[in-house]
């Protein structure tokens, strides 16, 4: 039976590279893949699915928040691949579950588990609930050799828990970090301080 997969990892864990390799392997055997990405991730141009390692290809489906995935779109596909799946809605994940079951095609979703505030994304939460298989794509902390589990947001070199996810005019980057370095960079006593800090920043903005 076809499965629904969630392969999650922090920023810089080569998730897209993994996706591109899977697509390449299917196509080399003459099998059709369908690549989906969310509409508003325009990091590398709207249609492009691009890895930091330099490989890229075009997505077949650019999915907006109100867009719908219909089973008929996947009938001749051997594999469905989703990039940046954290930005999909819970309803999209429900539709992917149905496609996997009813069309009988494996659906492999790649994305972040949590945002820079350490909270689950909507799409990732629903995948945690519905996926047959949950796998971690691992990478090491930017500041030590422990496994990274957080995405630290830095604007102009300062680690932040507040602000919009896209900073206009600022030099914003995300770093994969371990829990020790996440807490240290944000000047917190421990992860218990995260919610307090978020609440404070919301009061002042």
Catalytic residue ranges:
84
Contact residue for Zn ion among 144, 170, 200, 202 (CB under 5 A): 144
Q: Give phi and psi for 116, each to the nearest 5.
A: -70, -10
Cβ of residue 143: shortest distance to Zn ion, in angstroms? 5
The span from the CA of 177 to the CA of 151, in Å, is 6
**Residue with nearest beta carbon to Zn ion:** 141
178 or 194, CB closer to Zn ion? 178
- 184, with CB counted inside 10 A (0-12, 13-18, 19+), is middle
- For residue 152, state whether it binds Zn ion (rule: CB under 5 A): no
The span from the CA of 16 to the CA of 21, in Å, is 9
- For residue 181, state whether it binds Zn ion (rule: CB under 5 A): yes
53 or 144, CB closer to Zn ion? 144
Place of tokens 């928040």: 65
The token pair that represents 202 in the structure block: 């919301």
Cβ of residue 183: shortest distance to Zn ion, in angstroms? 10
- For residue 147, state whether it binds Zn ion (rule: CB under 5 A): no
- For residue 191, state whether it binds Zn ion (rule: CB under 5 A): no
Q: Which residues of 6-30 are buried (b: 16+ CB within 10 A; e: fewer)?
A: bbbbbbebbbbbbbbebbeebeeee
- The DSSP letter of residue 42 is -
Contact residue for Zn ion among 47, 60, 91, 143 (CB under 5 A): 143
Span of 38-46, 79-87, 165-173, 176-184 interacting with Zn ion by CB under 5 A: 176-184
The site that binds Zn ion (CB under 5 A) totals a number of residues, namely: 6
139 or 167, CB closer to Zn ion? 139
The span from the CA of 88 to the CA of 35, in Å, is 14
* Mask for 103-142, x = binds Zn ion (CB under 5 A): --------------------------------------x-
The token pair that represents 146 in the structure block: 């422990």
- For residue 178, state whether it binds Zn ion (rule: CB under 5 A): yes
Closest-CA residue to 157 (of 147, 146, 142, 144): 142
Residues found near Zn ion in the complex (CB under 5 A): 141, 143-144, 146, 178, 181
């Amino acid at each position: 039976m076809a499965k629904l997969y969630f392969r999650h990892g922090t920023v810089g864990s080569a998730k897209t590279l993994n996706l591109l390799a899977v697509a390449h392997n299917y196509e080399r055997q003459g099998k059709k893949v369908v690549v989906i990405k969310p509409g508003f991730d325009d990091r590398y141009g709207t249609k492009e699915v691009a890895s930091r390692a330099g490989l890229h290809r075009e997505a077949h489906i650019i999915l907006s928040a109100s867009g719908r995935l219909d089973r008929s779109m996947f009938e001749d596909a051997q594999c469905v691949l989703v990039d940046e799946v954290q930005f999909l809605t819970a309803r999209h994940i429900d539709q992917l579950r149905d496609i996997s079951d009813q069309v009988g095609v494996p659906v492999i979703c790649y994305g972040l588990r949590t945002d820079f505030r350490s909270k689950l994304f909507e799409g990732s939460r629903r995948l945690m609930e519905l996926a047959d298989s949950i796998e971690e794509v691992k990478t090491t902390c930017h500041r030590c050799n422990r496994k990274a589990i957080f995405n630290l947001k830095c604007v102009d070199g300062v680690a932040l828990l507040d602000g919009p996810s896209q900073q206009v005019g600022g030099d914003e980057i995300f770093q994969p970090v371990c829990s020790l370095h996440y807490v240290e960079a944000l000047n917190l006593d421990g992860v218990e301080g995260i919610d307090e800090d978020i609440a404070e920043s919301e009061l002042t903005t």
